[in-house]
Structure 1
Amino acid sequence: MKAPLKADGNYFDGKNRADFHNVPVFIIQEDNTVIYYSPVFDVSGYGHSEDEAAKSLIVAIQEFLKYTINKKTIELELAKLGWKRAKKKKFVPPAMSDMVKKRDYLSEIINDHNFRKESINVSVPAVA
């Protein structure tokens, strides 16, 4: 049996780079729209196809990361979302059960919608 994927993130301050791996994503179909929702960043993307929705979500997460890196608030914002620092610049997201307790709409997604869960990787490259 395969070991479960564990999300994590690294932020390299000197290089202004962020890498997040195995980010959980809920994929929901509503009418003619596909929604990709990342509970660990509390952002979503959407489109008419899964490809459009996935690209939209990645852009939304990258913009969140770029903005918070630029404002030097990335660690504060990750903490607000429930991320914990594991090592110097390594972060782990909150447990899904903790997020469900704090976000009613996440419980609604799980209880009232057909969805599937996948994982993605997101990076913000070093700024030149």
Structure 2
Amino acid sequence: MKSAHILNGDWKEGRSSIKTTLSIIVFEEDENYVMYCPALDLSGYGKDENEAYESFKVVLDEYFRYTTNKDTLKIDLKSLGWHVPKSKQKKASPPSMQHLLSTNDNFCRIFNDHAYKKIDKSFDIPALA
């Protein structure tokens, strides 16, 4: 279970999941709604916000499934700018928005070129490790 403990959230053993909150940027592009999480560099899209949200949840689930199965979650989060402590008892923390704007060209483009809203969403992420 080493990968499951590095997210910023609450471990729920009975449900085998981690509850975490992620900042999501919602905007429209090419007649689609996009939900983009700059801290993970993941997005989902759809014809409306609900469809985009459902798409994002699928992408997020597949991301965590893949990285935990390959035991690369910790490495991937570090490469995205997360602070990942060596101790499993301490929680990982995502990079600041300022850091993301200076290092993530896609997020910078969205920030500068689109009308958007930022929402914080809570997710139950399956504990797959």
Output one character per residue of 1:66-107: Cα deviation in whole Å (capped at 9) or x when no partner: 101001111111111111125525211000100111112211
CA distance in 2 between counterparts of 1:73 and 1:100 reads: 24
Superposition RMSD in Å = 2.4
In 2, Cα distance between the equivalents of 1:18 and 1:102? 30
Structure 2, unmatched stretches of 5+, are 1-6
1:43 aligns with 2:45: no
Task: Check if 1:104 corresponds to 2:105.
Answer: yes
C-alpha distance in 1, partners of 2:73/2:17? Answer: 10
Q: Which structure 2 residues correspond to residues 1-128 of structure 1 after superposition, within 5 A?
A: 9-10=8-9, 19-86=18-85, 87-88=87-88, 90-127=91-128
User: Displacement, 1:46?
Assistant: 0.2
Moved over 4 A (4+): none
Aligned to 2:3: none
- How many residues matched? 118
SS of residue matched to 1:66? helix
Task: Verify the 8 A CA contact 1:25 1:120 in the aligned structure 2.
Answer: yes
Flag the structure with higher strand content: 1
In structure 1, the residue corresponding to 2:45 is in which secondary structure?
strand
Structure 1 unmatched runs, 5+: 1-7
1:7-55 deviations in Å (ceiling 9; x for gaps): x62597x99x552522001000124210000001101000011001011
Matched letter for residue 110 of structure 2:
I
SS at match of 1:78: helix
Deviates more, 1:69-78 or 1:84-93: 84-93
Q: What displacement does 1:61 show? A: 1.1
Q: How many percent identity over aligned positions?
A: 31
Whether contact under 8 Å (2:61, 2:126) holds in the other structure is no
| Alpha-carbon distance in structure 2 between the residues aligned to 1:122 and 1:66 | 14
Q: Which sits farther off after the overlay, 47-56 or 25-34?
A: 25-34
- What amino acid is aligned across from residue 67 of structure 1 in structure 2? Y
Provide the TM-score with structure 1 as the length reference.
0.80
